[in-house]
Amino acid sequence: MGTVALGTSGTSAADVIAVARDNARIELTDEARAALAASREIVDALAAKPDPVYGVSTGFGALASRHIGPDLRAQLQRNIVRSHAAGMGPRVEREVVRALMFLRLKTVCSGHTGVRPEVAQTMADVLNAGITPVVHEYGSLGCSGDLAPLSHCALTLMGEGDAEGPDGALKPAGELLAAHGITPVELREKEGLALLNGTDGMLGMLIMALADLETLYKSADVTAALTLEALLGTEKVLAPELHAIRPHPGQAASAANMLAVLAGSGLTGHHQDDAPRVQDAYSVRCAPQVAGAGRDTMAHARTVAERELAAAVDNPVVLPDGRVESNGNFHGAPVAYVLDFLAIAAADLGSIAERRTDRLLDKNRSHGLPPFLADDAGVDSGLMIAQYTQAALVSEMKRLAVPASADSIPSSAMQEDHVSMGWSAARKLRTAVDNLTRIVAIELYAATRAVELREGLTPAPATQAVIEAIRKAGVEGPGPDRFLAPDLAAADAFVRSGALLAAVEPVTGALA
């Protein structure tokens, strides 16, 4: 377990992953502490003046017109957290909550929020103790921040509500804080608002989706190459000079990956043997174009994520010249769009993988493979229903590709009259990534079986390495029908864990 140091200038995607998934400890730098103290001095000075300042001495949203006196301001900050912690539905995943809290702490440490250093330290202490607030699926419209999810996190800092301890047990937050020697915070002017006004949930999910998709796109290049090989296709369409004349970087990378996997194959190039064909089907021949477009979409999404990681998202913000100004930087549109773009690209990658799987199973299009890759077709059904499962997953992927960010629903008495729905985009992308992993695993399962059925032909060394590794992982090869779900689950785990790439890359070198 490593350590992540938080300063004033944002953080990295790697640090988010380290905290969210690997329980890295967080330390606040002296720079961050100084910035926190300086911005708090500005807020305290404004709080002492008679003039109302939004978020410091006024109500919030549609209630911002009311001036709040000093005697009610602590109550105001407590009340905004309590009232906004209004989520419903299933709990979201621990890693999502940890990313959410860490990214809010990142913005707090920027010195633009006016939060006291001791509040920031408590946020770090809660994360370091492995305490995870209960956050629910529904409650964010992706504008004015991920309000309900962040409010549930702030509630834990106050020692209220429920949270999960490091042992996974659900307990009252106050008990968990006390058990770890953490004193609940007593919020002062602006602090309640600052803790819940950011795009942190959707950004955290974007960063983790990008990390997972990077592995998945490489894995999909491998399975596409295995299917091409199993179908006795031609690798000539992968030549770098062909992709250079349509210079999309992702396309070139995918083609190069497939070519590396196929190096030394004795199966490719037989497309004109018994049943001559001029070209392979689109799902095989155009694999780099489709996967490459998804890779380029990921590159754009990564740029957006990096900009957001460098941002201080709050309203109002404390500026270096001492002003506290309202703004609209909490709007989730930039993040919501790329979350939806990624869901579209993932759906298309799943769709083309399913078409290749179906081709492997169809005796009229598989160029000599047995129907459904069955041992004794008719007696055995082979992988017929594995493809049904894959098709069902693809169908759901298409539904998940419908953009959430194209919708908006007004709230807060029409003050917040256009929202991003970025949280919803992020939630459905997580499901899409999960499903895509299963889709790639089913293609892998079918393609490795098909290659093994090509008796008398020698697969590429990389393919042979995959087959040996997946068989050692408990995924059985060709043979009579058996209970298929355990095999598919093992193939899914093989892809999900990165074992597929670990089997290939010692032969091919690192894939792009």
Active site residues: 54
Q: Tell me how crowded residue 505 is: count the other CB atoms within 10 A of its CB.
A: 17
Q: In what order do the strands lie in the sheet with 162-164?
A: 132-133, 162-164, 170-172
Tokens 């001495």: give the residue: 57
Burial of 482 (C-beta count, 10 Å sphere; 0-12/13-18/19+): exposed
Handedness of CA 106, 112, 118, 119 (dihedral sign): negative
Residue pointed to by tokens 């009252």:
172
Q: How far is CA 504 from CA 52, 226, 254, 463, 498, in A?
A: 63, 11, 15, 8, 10
- Strands 25-28 and 3-6, by their bridges, are parallel
Rounded distance, CA 220 to CA 348, Å?
A: 12
- Token output for 65: 């017109």
C-alpha–C-alpha distance, residues 340 and 424, integer Å: 10
**Which is it for strands 162-164 and 132-133: parallel, antiparallel or unpaired?**
antiparallel
Which residue type is seen at 446? A
Query: Are 507 and 225 contacting, i.e. CB atoms less than 8 angstroms apart?
Result: no
Cis omega (within 30 of 0) for bond into 371: no
What is the number of other CB atoms lying within 10 angstroms of the CB of residue 259? 20
- Helix (H, G, I), strand (E, B), or coil: what is residue 27? strand
Distance of CA 420 to the CA centre of its chain: 18
Whole-angstrom distance, CA of residue 9 vs CA of residue 11: 7
Count Cβ atoms within 10 A of the Cβ of residue 104 and give its class: 0-12 exposed, 13-18 middle, 19 or more buried.
buried
Q: 10's torsion region: left (phi>0), alpha (psi -120 to 50) or beta?
A: left
